[in-house]
Amino acid sequence: MITEINSGPLLVQAHATMAGQLVIEVTLNAPEALNALNVAMVDLLLEHVPVWEADDTVIAIIMRGSGSKSFCAGGDVRHLYHQINQGDWHIGETFFNHEYHLDLMLHKLSTPLLVWGSGYAIGGGMGLLQAAAIRIGTHSSRLAMPEVTIGLFPDVGASYFLRQVPDDLGLFLGLTGVMLNGNDARQLGLLDALLGDNDYQQLMQALVNLPAQSQIDTLSKAQNLIQGMEFKAASKVQTSNLDSHRHHIIEALQQPDLASIVASLGLLKGRDKWLDKAIRTMEHGSPTSLHLIYRAFNMNFTTVDDALLQEYVLGVNATRLGEFKEGVRALLIDKDRTPNWRYTSVETTPKAWIDQFFSTNNMVPAQFL
């Protein structure tokens, strides 16, 4: 029996198909917070997703955000900050075990998961989007992993999925927190399709009109119908922000060490506003974060499981070593945008300091595998 939810942080509707099967529509419902992924949403999804997966009548799940501005603009880092401030030594273990459990569950879901990633898909929202079997963007989509601004690192599996981006450009996305439009995200393999913002209801109708079939057939037919819709939307494709800079960025990323990469990217300032903003974000971000991003990227994870295990260790230590707390304070709490980072540059950041983030001392092991 599928339980529908009509109010609260997560809305759930079960749509009957013409054949009497079900498509589950899940809506992240916190539009005032751009549908940022909060603890209540995570707990509800952890409760209900296994029920939907176990139900043979459910042939697909589609997830979206409430309103038109955002799919999901990150995780609830304010909650994490306040718990750290209250001296909760174990909040990182609790928080990341829950969030990463959900991410891994969605990656391994046997029921086809479609994510409608219109508007912002940032941080934790990217984790949900990249876990989907079909990742759908629109002309309003804006994708980013901007954790460098808060003394963290791209997590929720990003150590794996950014590694899949061609030409090491995933490293550029992590170091700069750059915002990608739908076109660029599609080109880089972070979206499977790019539709119009007004195509959602047409997609839902097409899904419920599917004939009786297995989940495998549903995935194949959903891919085909979305491909047809994408072809019709192609006349509205946006201009790429990335194309004119791609060669120069790739050259910078080929430098032999982090300091050289940061310096080479810095030399690209002045080309246009999009790239300038990306480089400024990197230069004003946490040098500690830059090191964590670079080292995790070069661990070259081949599974999301391994990436999440390492990110769990990094995340827990980030809640204990101060850089993350200071980054959130400056950006989201006091909003002075002048973080007092522990070190002022990647060159002056000691290896021994970065090594502490990879230590499992005094840490409860990950519980989500």
Residue spans of the chain under pLDDT 70 = 235-237
| 196 φ, ψ (degrees, to nearest 5) | -75, 155
> What is the phi-psi region of residue 363: left when phi exceeds 0, alpha when psi lies from -120 to 50, beta otherwise?
beta
Domain that holds residue 310: 10-356
Q: What is the pLDDT of residue 1?
A: 76
Please give the C-alpha separations between residue 236 and each of 140, 233, 314, in angstroms, as whole numbers. Answer: 11, 6, 41
How many Å apart are CA 63 and CA 22, to the nearest integer?
Answer: 14
pLDDT digit string, tens, across residues 170-228: 999 999 999 999 999 999 999 999 999 999 999 999 999 988 788 878 899 999 999 99
Distance CA 308, CA 97 (A): 10
With respect to residue 362, please indicate whether it lies within any of the assigned structural domains. Answer: no
Q: Is residue 317 part of a domain?
A: yes
Alpha carbons 226 and 195: distance in angstroms, whole number: 8
State residue 279's pLDDT score: 99
Integer Cα distance of 320 and 269 in angstroms: 35
Task: Answer yes or no: is 3 within a domain.
Answer: no
Q: Does 2 map to a domain?
A: no
Q: What is the CATH number of the domain that holds 204?
A: 3.90.226.10
* Number of compact structural domains in the chain: 1
How many angstroms separate the Cα of 256 from the Cα of each of 38, 159, 234, 245, 298? 39, 20, 39, 20, 12
339 contacts: CB under 8 Å, gap ≥ 6: 151, 286, 326, 327, 329, 330, 331
Residue 367, in any domain of the structure = no
Helices (H), ranges, 55-196: 77-85, 91-107, 124-130, 158-161, 169-176, 182-187
Q: Residue 235's pLDDT is what? A: 60
**Residue 239 is assigned to a structural domain of this protein:** yes
Domain for residue 196, yes or no?
yes
Q: 155 Cβ partners below 8 Å, 6+ apart? A: 96, 100, 123, 127, 147, 311, 314, 315
Beta bridge partner(s), residue 115: 63, 135
Q: Decide if 363 is inside a domain.
A: no
Provide CB contacts within 8 A for 360, sequence distance 6+.
313
